[in-house]
């Protein structure tokens, strides 16, 4: 399904990401007593997998402090992770953006031929952004389905930049919740978890 024969894809090294969760979950994962549970909601922005905010501790903490929907977090905490992207469906890369468009066109054609309706991205009650992204999730998952059917190497991860929240000021091109989100599909890409530490005075 690759649209290019070039060998360059995503970041070749290790990245740091942060995951907002309950204090008990963070401690159990760091101690090796349990593994994170992959998200499998129909409205997940990047499809099913393990979600991290790339280099964004504060956003992860905000998520844990203000969880969406009916999610309840008793004691907000942030889990750090070190991972590689592997074979990444990187939505900062034109070839993969084009592939997402093709996936949507394919889903739309199938839905029309079968007399069905596509899912839609919807606003949550407490948000002006379309945070319940059932359409986007379906489009991404369709890519993974087709890749598997073709026998191509599966995508290990998905990465996207999201423009979210209110404008920082009148006429601004910057928004208060813009972020880079990463969905790790292949758990082997996660090299380890850690407790985020604070800066110290040095020297």
Q: What is the pLDDT of residue 76?
A: 97
Asked whether 168 and 117 are in contact (CB, 8 A), the reply is no
Q: Rounded CA gap, 121 and 20, in Å?
A: 23
The count of structural domains within the chain is 1
Q: What is the pLDDT of residue 9?
A: 59
Q: What is the pLDDT of residue 127?
A: 67
Q: What DSSP character marks residue 152?
A: P
Q: Mean pLDDT per segment of 10 residues, for the chain of length 203 residues?
A: 56 91 98 96 96 97 87 94 96 95 97 95 78 94 96 96 94 95 97 95 94
Q: What is the pLDDT of residue 173?
A: 95
What's the full length of the chain, in residues? 203
pTM (global) more than 0.85: yes
Q: What is the pLDDT of residue 71?
A: 79
Domain range enclosing 49: 15-194
Q: What is the pLDDT of residue 50?
A: 98
Instruction: Tell me whether residue 38 is in a domain.
Output: yes
Instruction: Tell me whether residue 149 is in a domain.
Output: yes
Q: What is the pLDDT of residue 20?
A: 97
Q: What is the pLDDT of residue 72?
A: 87
Q: Rounded CA gap, 163 and 30, in Å?
A: 31
Instruction: Tell me whether residue 180 is in a domain.
Output: yes
Instruction: Tell me whether residue 105 is in a domain.
Output: yes
76-83 and 15-22 strand pairing: antiparallel
Q: What is the pLDDT of residue 67?
A: 86
113-127 b/e with 16+ CB inside 10 Å = b? eeeeeebeeeeeeee
Distances (CA, A) of 6 to 2, 3, 10, 95, 153: 9, 9, 12, 11, 15
Instruction: Tell me whether residue 3 is in a domain.
Output: no
Q: What is the pLDDT of residue 133?
A: 93
Instruction: Tell me whether residue 146 is in a domain.
Output: yes
Instruction: Tell me whether residue 5 is in a domain.
Output: no
Instruction: Tell me whether residue 199 is in a domain.
Output: no
């Amino acid at each position: 399904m690759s649209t290019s024969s070039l060998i360059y894809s995503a970041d070749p090294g290790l990245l740091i990401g942060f995951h907002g969760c309950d204090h008990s979950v963070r401690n159990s994962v760091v101690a090796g007593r349990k593994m994170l549970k992959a998200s499998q909601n129909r409205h997940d922005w990047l499809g099913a997998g393990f979600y991290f905010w790339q280099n964004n501790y504060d956003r992860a903490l905000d998520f844990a402090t203000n969880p969406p929907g009916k999610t309840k977090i008793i004691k907000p905490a942030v889990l750090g992770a070190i991972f590689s992207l592997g074979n990444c469906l990187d939505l900062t890369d034109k070839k993969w953006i084009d592939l997402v468009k093709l996936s949507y066109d394919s889903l739309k054609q199938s839905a029309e031929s079968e007399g069905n309706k596509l899912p839609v991205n919807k606003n949550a009650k407490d948000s002006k952004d379309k945070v319940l992204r059932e359409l986007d999730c379906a489009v991404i998952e369709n890519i993974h389905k087709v890749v598997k059917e073709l026998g191509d190497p599966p995508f290990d991860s998905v990465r996207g930049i999201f423009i979210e929240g209110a404008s920082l000021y009148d006429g601004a091109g910057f928004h208060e919740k813009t972020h880079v989100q990463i969905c790790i599909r292949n758990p082997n890409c996660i090299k380890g978890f850690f407790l985020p530490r604070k800066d110290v005075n040095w020297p």
